[in-house]
Amino acid sequence: MSEAGPASPPRLEVLRLPDVCRVTGLCRSSIYQLEAEQRFPRRIKVGARSVGWIDQEVQEWLAIRARARGQAPKTTRGA
């Protein structure tokens, strides 16, 4: 009988700004503005002059936004 070894940690993927823009549909300035307001995942430094965002954090941010859209109160028109 063989025992399973320790599970390997999840692989982290770093997205560069063009990828974050493509995935979220946001422009560069919106991403930086949301990040400054602490409403978007913080970037990480990946090199001396480069930054990126952790893919899983961006995906979770999108999932939260998707779940929230179903919870918004509905407005009535022409009352």
What does the chain come to in residues? 79
**Short-list 27, 24, 25, 36, CA closest to 61:** 24
pLDDT tens column, 20-47 = 999 999 999 999 999 999 999 999 999 9
pTM: 0.75
**Short-list 11, 13, 10, 9, CA closest to 55:** 13
- What gap in Å lies between CA 7 and CA 14, rounded to an integer? 21
